[in-house]
Amino acid sequence: MSRIHVERHRTQHTGWLRAAVLGANDGIVSTASLIVGVIASSATHSAVLVAGIAGLVAGAMSMAAGEYVSVSSQADTEQADIARERQELAFDGVREEAELAGIYMQRGLDADLAQQVATQLMAKDALAAHTRDELGISESVRANPLQAAFTSAFAFAVGAALPLLCVVVMPGENLPWTVSMTSLVFLAILGGLAAFMGRAPLARGVLRVTFWGALAMAITAGIGLLFGSGA
């Protein structure tokens, strides 16, 4: 008996990968920018540390809530579409089978083969066939609100902890530069890792995240200097 070759694709991991990359990226950028801005305002080291910790906690909770609400809305839409499809199958299965055959014809099958495929798939699991081929919803990419919320919050906390760790272990006059440079290195690594996992151009992924991270920290430092000098 021949063994079935099962290929592993990355699309089934896009949900948590997207949430993890966005969460870690936001954690590094927002916390590093906050720390640099507070330092630029001539705040004390303890104030910088408190601001960083507060930014970590608030940011992680915000990411979790935002992802949960967003992905829940997507899941609600998917469930509504599936429920509507279930009603249509119960009301007029013949028309739904013809619709499924039409989809396969548009994908390149001839009319007879398309009808045979539609008939067999409808006989096995009509709802699954329409959910996958008509609605474009599959189990591997179904919205999972709790997974997205937890992944985003955890990734944000990990990302935010990196610049915060610099404040704890390397205090001193060069702290703004230390936080900025180490954060840019972390962002470059993150951008490269995300590009590698997604098989995207490595240089583009690195430059994209480091540019926006540097811009965010520069603007925040400018605002800290402005308000600090006016205090």
pLDDT digits (tens, 9 = 90+) for 116-168: 777 777 777 777 777 776 666 665 555 678 888 888 889 999 999 999 998 88
The DSSP string of 1-18 is: -PPPP----GGGGHHHHH
Q: Where are the beta strands (DSSP E) in the chain?
A: none
The residue with tokens 């703004």 is 176
> Would you give the DSSP letter of residue 141?
G
User: Under a CB-based contact definition with an 8 Å cutoff, are residues 52 and 163 in contact?
Assistant: yes
Residue 176 in tokens: 């703004």
DSSP class per residue in 175-221:
HHHHHHHHHHHHHHHHHHHHHHHTT--HHHHHHHHHHHHHHHHHHHH
Q: If you average pLDDT over residues 213-222, what whole number do you get? A: 90
For the whole prediction, is pTM greater than 0.75? no
- The number of angstroms, rounded, from the C-alpha of 46 to the middle of its chain's C-alpha atoms is 33
Six-digit token string for 201: 């151009």
Euclidean distance between CA atoms 182 and 69, whole angstroms = 32
- Distances 112 to 98, 105, 172 between C-alpha atoms, Å: 12, 9, 76
Task: Match 């720390």 to its residue by tokens.
Answer: 35
7: left (phi over 0), alpha (psi -120 to 50) or beta: beta
pLDDT per position as a tens digit, 33-84: 999 999 988 888 889 999 999 999 999 999 889 888 888 887 777 777 777 7
Q: What pLDDT shows up at residue 79?
A: 77
The residue type of 9 is H
